[in-house]
Amino acid sequence: MKNQFVKPGEIQLLHSQPIEHLFLGCLAQNPKIQRELFDRLSPKMLSLCLRYIKETAAAEDVMLIAFRKVFDRIGQFRQQGSFEGWIRRIVVNECLMYLEKQRNLYREIGLERIYPEANQNGPSDNLDWEDLSKMLQYLPKGYRKVFELFALEGLSHEEISRQLEISENTSKSQLSRARVQLQRLLHFRNIKN
């Protein structure tokens, strides 16, 4: 049975059309047109993401989130300028938001106090998420749990004390000790490198 919506050769014709011609199909939320737009622009947009985000997997995730926003907000495109330029702006903004979240994560962790160079050069230059998560595994279980709840999940010491059934002072001291141990691990890491 032939597809009644797609005529033979129609998909091939789309590949030869400028990106702007795909706008109306995307506006109508036509999945085939959306897929066509994604297939045509994703290599370019991934390359753009990789200029901002070094880890390929994270860059791919950010690109996918950006495309989801493109399709969700397609009605906001005013056709003043190029459609591809509008998409690029969304992708760049998504990259910047990702980087800001990463910076905030390092600030919440207190990394600039643990590792002063992280504040000067930016966390991605010295320590990536993978290194940090490996170092967290070396912390005693109690320290690690408090550190993760405080720094990664953003809970207050009061919330941590209720969740772990410990006093607020215990939460504070375990966080402090976790930071000291992380500082030692970072120092050792720098000596090795």
User: Greatest CA separation found in the chain?
Assistant: 71
What span, in angstroms and rounded, lies between the C-alpha atoms of 157 and 166? 10
What span, in angstroms and rounded, lies between the C-alpha atoms of 17 and 24? 13
pLDDT at position 119 is: 46
Amino acid at 15: H
Highest mean pLDDT among 44-48, 49-53, 113-117, 176-180: 44-48
**What separation in angstroms does the CA of 79 have from each of 27, 104, 185?**
12, 35, 53
pLDDT at position 118 is: 47
pLDDT at position 9 is: 46
Q: Has residue 123 got a pLDDT over 50?
A: no
pTM value is 0.51
pLDDT at position 7 is: 47
6: left (phi over 0), alpha (psi -120 to 50) or beta: beta
What span, in angstroms and rounded, lies between the C-alpha atoms of 109 and 103? 10
Confidence of residue 172 (pLDDT cuts 50, 70, 90): very high
Averaged pLDDT score across all residues of the chain: 79
What span, in angstroms and rounded, lies between the C-alpha atoms of 49 and 129? 18
Q: Please, what are the domains in the chain?
A: 10-103 (1.10.1740.10), 110-192 (1.10.10.10)
Tokens of 18: 């400028």
Q: Has residue 57 got a pLDDT over 60?
A: yes
